[in-house]
């Protein structure tokens, strides 16, 4: 993949977000418009993941978080859930060597241990093999839900307070952030959602408090490096006030 067009889209003087999160939406509609089964849309979506993760590296994005499987996705038909798990296996097998070679560190957020034991083992192995990498971080949200993440963080803090380890009065936003799945990642700068939907769908609710939100009509399988570069340009053109003037 040539990175020249992508890099040329970076605004002069910087403006590249450190941490970008993407709600990858529209695989099913992409397939339906082509009279294809939903699996074909999900497969095309994996190809988009590959393009976008490479483009993120070319753009200099430090952390890219992808909403791959939400805690609500279990409500989908069993066959579709099985297809998604199979594609995750394929992605790990086909792309892990590249992540190791390109110095990418894989990070998982969410309760992925609910998955089949062989898939959990594959994920654990992938995380372990990239743990020593010092380059950009690829964060995959698997069986993730932001409300559950916040409840778990609150419960851990309550248990520590009950045990006398911390003073409840000392619990502040920083204490909560340290308990989140995203602890030690750069602050979230930009959230992109594809397919024209305009909601966060229980994704990084705390982390997105001051993130820029960008909703695009492009269906996820059609999203590519140039689309990501355009999102970076849009981000660079916004003025972030954080509640100030």
The pLDDT tens digits of the residues spanning 50-72 come to: 999 999 999 999 999 999 999 99
Instruction: Find the helix or strand (DSSP H, E) in which 142 lies.
Output: strand 137-144
Is it the case that residue 12 has pLDDT exceeding 80?
Answer: no
Active-site annotation holds for 202 = no
Does residue 224 carry a pLDDT above 50? Answer: yes
What percent of the chain shows pLDDT beyond 70?
93
What are the pLDDT digits (tens) for 173-207? 999 999 999 999 999 999 999 999 999 999 999 99
N-terminal to C-terminal alpha carbon distance within the chain: 42
Instruction: Say yes or no to pLDDT of 1 above 50.
Output: no
Residue 25 bears catalytic tag: yes
Q: Give yes or no for residue 131 having a pLDDT over 80.
A: yes
As a whole number, the mean pLDDT across the chain is 93
Please indicate if the annotation marks 33 as binding a ligand. no
pLDDT on residue 15 = 87
Please give the helix or strand (H or E) that residue 216 lies within, else none. none
Tell me if 15 is assigned to a ligand binding site: no
Q: Is the pTM of this model over 0.75?
A: yes
- pLDDT per position as a tens digit, 70-120: 999 999 999 999 999 999 999 999 999 999 999 999 999 999 999 999 999
72 appears as a binding residue in the annotation? yes
CB 202 within 8 Å of CB 70: yes
Annotated active-site residue in 73, 111, 222, 224: 73
**Cα 45 from Cα 40, distance rounded (Å):** 8
* 28 appears as a binding residue in the annotation: yes
CA distance 177 to 188: 12
The pLDDT assigned to 2 comes to: 44
Inter-CA distances, 132 with 99, 128, 223, Å: 12, 8, 30
Residue 97 annotated as part of some ligand binding site: no
Task: Tell whether 76 is in a known binding site.
Answer: yes
Section 10-23 average pLDDT: 80
The pLDDT score that the predictor gives to residue 244 is: 67
201 annotated among ligand-binding-site residues:
yes
For the chain, domain boundaries: 16-144+188-235
**CATH class for the region spanning 16-144+188-235:** alpha beta
95 by Cβ neighbours in 10 Å (0-12 / 13-18 / 19+) ranks as buried
How does residue 13 score in pLDDT terms, banded at 50, 70 and 90?
Answer: very low
**182 versus 240: which is more confidently predicted?**
182
> What pLDDT sits at residue 239?
83
> Which regions of 154-245 does DSSP assign to beta strands (E)?
190-193, 212-215
């Amino acid at each position: 993949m040539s990175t020249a067009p992508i890099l040329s889209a970076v605004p002069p003087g910087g403006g590249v977000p450190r941490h970008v999160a993407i709600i990858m939406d529209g695989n099913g509609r992409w397939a339906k418009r082509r009279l294809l089964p939903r699996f074909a849309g999900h497969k095309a979506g994996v190809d988009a993941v590959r393009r976008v993760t490479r483009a993120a590296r070319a753009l200099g994005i430090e952390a890219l978080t992808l909403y791959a499987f939400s805690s609500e996705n279990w409500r989908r038909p069993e066959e579709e859930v099985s297809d998604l798990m199979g594609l995750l296996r394929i992605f790990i097998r086909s792309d892990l060597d590249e992540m190791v070679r390109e110095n990418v560190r894989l990070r998982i957020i969410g309760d992925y241990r609910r998955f089949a034991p062989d898939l959990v083992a594959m994920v654990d192995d992938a995380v372990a093999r990239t743990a020593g990498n010092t380059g950009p971080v690829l964060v995959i949200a698997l069986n993730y839900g932001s409300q559950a993440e916040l409840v778990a963080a609150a419960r851990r803090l309550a248990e520590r307070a009950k045990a006398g380890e911390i003073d409840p009065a000392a619990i502040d936003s920083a204490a909560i952030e340290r308990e989140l799945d995203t602890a030690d990642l750069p602050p979230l700068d930009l959230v992109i959602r594809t397919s024209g939907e305009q909601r966060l769908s229980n994704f990084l609710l705390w982390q997105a408090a001051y993130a820029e939100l960008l909703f695009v009509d492009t269906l996820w399988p059609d999203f590519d490096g140039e689309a990501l570069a355009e999102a970076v340009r849009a981000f660079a053109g916004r003025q972030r006030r954080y509640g100030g003037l």
